[in-house]
Amino acid sequence: MNEKTSTSYWELESTLRDQFVHREVSREINSVLWIQIFAIVAINSCLTVADVILGIPELRSINLFIRGSTILAAVVIFPILRDKPLLHRNAIFMICQIFGIGFSYSVHQKHALNLPLNGYLSEYILIIQMMLIIGFCPFTQKKHLLSLAGIYLLVVLWAVSPVIATHALFVVLAGCSFYISVTIRVLYLNFLERLHGIDYDLRARMLPPILVRNTLDRPRGFLIDAVKMSSTGILCITSDWHHFKDAFKLHDEQTIAKLMSDYYDECVTLLHEKFDGGDCALDWMGDDVLIYIPYNTQDDQETETKTLAAVNFALDLVQIRKRHFAHLSVPSGIDVAISLGRANYGLSGTSNSRRMIAFGYPVSLARGLQHHIKICSELTNDNTDRIAMTNDIRNILSNGHDPTLQSLNLVSIKPDQFLKNMQVTEYFVHLPT
């Protein structure tokens, strides 16, 4: 496994995470925009009714303002109702926003000059509300927001120029309101990004990559059934090293920890490549690794393909370990065991460690096989890497279509009592020739 492949996997992960966060943040910021728009419509409706009931002609500037902002709300809602891609909607929104602001402000300004008191009032409301809208408009990119704000400030300055002294206060108000709305917007977006980033990371920790990815485009409800414990075909791969603890006697903890992290990173990358973009779950504790690969027991072709991939993965695992740990000068080998069968598979664990786990015959069998070959290795003080597999896997290998696996040197081994209890009469170990 080369470094390039490893990097590209994590890059892909990072890209998917960014996409997920962007989509969720856009959705949330849009919902806030909706609240804002409805609030404006509600406020304006109340004011109109109040004007009519009270018969206050002086407040017609507010009515004009209402018209302006209602038009604004309508043009904003219209493109959102159309199911266009998000970026497209944003582009339309931006034009509408500028139009709405320009229109309502110019109409208002015309009347405000004649009506000082209500002019101040409606001007104030207009500025604050428009600033809030700009602050929470659905642009996740700051540059668009700042461009828009720049245009708006120019409009404000132009509009107030005839009576600049009177309106100095409102220019200050507009500036402060804008500053605050942008600040809150940036903070709000940061919190949203952090929240959805954590959401993605938690899912990525608990679920197989393929499930995480499916939820990016599919309804969230898809996950509920996918993570429920159910009976399914499981290919189980377990691995354990010889003399792992001796490495700590010769090397410092940081070195070993770094090597282990790199080793696991490469395992994850390789799993992703071998099994349909991550249709598998990995669990590890110390040097002990457990991998579960679900498959459809009714589909012989899938069973064969995944089994061949699992054996291939086991061979690569041996190579990865060698590459990362050979230079440590610690005599060690790795025992890998593979088995398959029906098991219960689903989300389980304590508060610290909830993840996809398989329970049942193939898992016990793989661990039993691994335990047995480890005992054999210890008795003979043999540090050869070994890959153990059951008879059904050997049969798939001999019928399989992967020529790289035909050269495996498989030796038949008599099982121990534990394995006999599991109705295993013999199993096979690949020994390097």
Partner 1 sequence: MIQKLKNYIIPKTHQSGFRISDSKVGTSYIFAAQQHAWREASETARHCWIVFLLCGLIGSTTLYFLDLKVYGFDVFQIVFALIGILFLNTKNAIEILSRHNFSGWLVFALVAIFGQLSSINLSLYKSGEISLTAGTGLILFSIIGSIVNPGPGIYIKILAVFAVTGSLFVTRHSKFQVPFSLLVLTTVISGLIWKHIFLSIVNTSARSSLAMRITKAPANTAASQMDSNEDLDRFAISSRKTAIIIVKWSNFANVSHDLRPSDLDKLLKIYFAAVDKLLMVNIPSGAWFADVIQHEVHIYIFEEPTDEHPAVLAFKFAKDLLKEKNSSGQFSSMGHLDIGLAYGSTTSGILGPKAFKKTAAIGTLSQEAISSKALGGSIRQAFGGSDKIIFDFEVAKHLEDQSGILSLTHKDLNPQSTIPEKLVYVFDFDSMKESKS
Rounded to 5 degrees, what are φ and ψ at 350? Answer: -85, 180
Within 10 angstroms of residue 33's Cβ, the number of other Cβ atoms is: 18
Nearest approach in angstroms of CB 307 to partner 1 is 22
Nearest approach in angstroms of CB 86 to partner 1 is 20
Within 10 angstroms of residue 20's Cβ, the number of other Cβ atoms is: 21
Between 186 and 326, name the residue whose CB sits nearer to partner 1: 186
Nearest approach in angstroms of CB 96 to partner 1 is 22
Nearest approach in angstroms of CB 401 to partner 1 is 31
Nearest approach in angstroms of CB 200 to partner 1 is 10
Separation between Cα atoms, residue 113 and residue 116, nearest integer Å: 6
Separation between Cα atoms, residue 428 and residue 433, nearest integer Å: 15
- Alpha-helical regions (H) of 218-353: 221-227, 246-250, 253-274, 300-325
Spell out the long-range contacts of 215-222 with Cβ–Cβ below 8 A and sequence spacing 24 or more.
216/16, 216/19, 216/20, 216/23
Separation between Cα atoms, residue 46 and residue 15, nearest integer Å: 47
Between 277 and 360, name the residue whose CB sits nearer to partner 1: 360
Separation between Cα atoms, residue 29 and residue 50, nearest integer Å: 32
Rg for the chain, CA atoms, rounded: 33
Question: In the structure encoding, which two tokens stand for residue 366, read together?
Answer: 């793989």
Nearest approach in angstroms of CB 144 to partner 1 is 22
Nearest approach in angstroms of CB 209 to partner 1 is 9
Rounded to 5 degrees, what are φ and ψ at 338? Answer: -130, 135
SS3 21: helix
- Report strand pairing: 386-390 vs 427-430: antiparallel
Between 352 and 381, name the residue whose CB sits nearer to partner 1: 352
Between 35 and 146, name the residue whose CB sits nearer to partner 1: 35
Nearest approach in angstroms of CB 137 to partner 1 is 15
Q: Decide: 266 and 313 in contact? Cβ < 8 Å.
A: no
Between 263 and 408, name the residue whose CB sits nearer to partner 1: 263
Nearest approach in angstroms of CB 399 to partner 1 is 28
Which residues does 108 contact at the CB level (< 8 Å), separation at least 6?
61, 64, 65, 68, 122, 123, 126
Taken in order 394, 399, 405, 408, the sign of the CA dihedral is positive
Between 87 and 176, name the residue whose CB sits nearer to partner 1: 176
Nearest approach in angstroms of CB 319 to partner 1 is 17
Separation between Cα atoms, residue 296 and residue 151, nearest integer Å: 59
Between 153 and 195, name the residue whose CB sits nearer to partner 1: 195
Question: In the structure encoding, which two tokens stand for residue 2, read together?
Answer: 């080369």
Between 237 and 363, name the residue whose CB sits nearer to partner 1: 363
Separation between Cα atoms, residue 395 and residue 299, nearest integer Å: 16
Question: In the structure encoding, which two tokens stand for residue 132, read together?
Answer: 């809030």
Between 187 and 411, name the residue whose CB sits nearer to partner 1: 187
Between 118 and 307, name the residue whose CB sits nearer to partner 1: 118
